[in-house]
Structure 1
Amino acid sequence: MIAFPALRTLLIAAMASGLSFGATRAADDFDLSPQQPGRLHAARNEAAIAAIPKEFKFVTPGKFTIAVSPGGPPLATYATDAKTVVGADPDYAYAIADSLGLTLEIVPVAWIDWPLGLASGKYDAVISNVGVTEQRKEKFDFSTYRQGLHGFFVKSDSPITSIKQPKDAAGLRIIVGAGTNQERILVKWSDEDVAAGLKPIELQYYDDEAASLLALRSGRADVIVQPHAQLVFIAARDKNIKRVGTLSAGWPDRSDVAITTRKGSGLADALTVATNGLIKDGSYAKILDHWHLSEEALPASETNPPGLPKY
């Protein structure tokens, strides 16, 4: 699962940093206002519209109804009015709706609830950082729209400048979430380092994000690894950590996140066509750049590509 901590965790982290929620909202590089004046509007894509199966029925005629979990910025969060959902995933969803000649309807949901809601027909699709896995492909169809990345971040004044491969992390004290995919990968990295005669990676675990950030800032840890998008926002907000690398959720292969639709509904191919249209005309790149997520861009969208295997 590729998911993000609840907004409560971000608030705790903000308080631990000596910041108020107002400061969190006002990270200079991110507009979390409900008006979203910078939101991009896409052109109709007749090829994508033609690819929608004739028998497909949208939940509400004329609307593209999508579920999103407002887990935290920059992907999806509640705006400063505490009710409007904004972020990279909503902006992308608006562009897809424009491409299909439809009006977007966003349904905020808890992360745990999206599979049942989608299967029962409450919405047409889920656009909420859902990673493609072989297990999920048994029940859902996917149209990829972004890479699933974790980020390596360090203190702004850290001497560490780049982490790209296992040897770069040898001997480092790295904060990671217990039971996460990034933990699984870093255990493998550490094993590779030891086999090569290098120092093992020391993995550290903390109860919440606030404690993790405090450990990093105080020098008790060298690196923090979390979902990339989440750390991009924290870096912009706190101004005291920096990115030194990214890690694919499917390491050593690429792992993607995707629009999720009901299995066999036939909508996935149309959404893939729509995404590739946005990539081709540059709209896609502008959306990711607006939310500082250009590193997560895909060269092309695919329908039901290989996903993370069952472990």
Structure 2
Amino acid sequence: MKATEPTRIAIVGVGKIARDQHMPSIEHNPNFTLCAAVSRHARVDGVEHYNALDAMLLKRPDITALALCTPPAVRFDMAMAALRAGRHVLLEKPPGATLTEVETLVGEARERGLTLYATWHSRHALGVEPARDWLAPRRIRSVRIVWKEDVRRWHPGQAWIWNAGNVGVFDPGINALSILTRIMPHPVHVASADLDFPSNCQTPIAARLEFADPFGATVTAEFDWRHEGHQTWDIAVETDAGSLLLSEGGSRLTIDGEPAVSGPDREYPAIYEHFAELLAAGRIDVDVSPLRHVADAFLVGRRHEVDAFHE
């Protein structure tokens, strides 16, 4: 393949996020051409369809990259099959069901000289990098994350999110954690957690986390999937030299009460721009720090049973 030709890519898992974000981002990026879709239940108009990944890998050796958009609990085997077939892999967030399986994929990709990219779309929100730069020279006194949304609105009819091996309310909450691990000048770790499990589910519907900070800052996070009305995705930071608010999932930055950055959503287009750069450079980009916070919350968390969840 000539360097000037777009990378032939396939989407594996044709769900809401693939249709809403991945497909439009691929369509508008000249570095990629969507050539196939793999799904047991859905099809993409105008694109070659396969019911199983193995069949696509066998019949389309010209497709050199895959975007895995399946639930995390079933992603490892697919990613490993793709890497062993010599394909580059982009992983939707969270990159896997466990830390070890993600590390195993990194080792496989490195051994085969392939690109593996664990995406964190919220890190590409417009306010995140300016917030990171503003916080870098300051002493942080407190961080308060409030991430509340309505699961029925964002995941209608998606029963998989309540099954073991997936992460429940941490599916959106990990977006906040991906921002936290990007903007903090130093690492923090989960010290305690309270997790609310519906009586008929294997994953939590709400969570409250407290973090330990080596410099004494108070860092907390509150995630809730039962929130109706205005959806809230805020990170408020107090420092020794002013305050910062990242709102609307990181797309709006306010400093000392004054608007600093805002603009349209370009998170997924930015993901594919970075994927193209990684492919050109032959690099791996996998940061598991947001997933590690989730794993630690499950390890230290106190379990609370709450009312059963029904659509």
Structure showing greater relative contact order (alpha-carbon pairs closer than 8 Å, 6 or more residues apart): 1
Q: TM-score, normalised by structure 1?
A: 0.36
- Name the one with the larger strand percent: 2
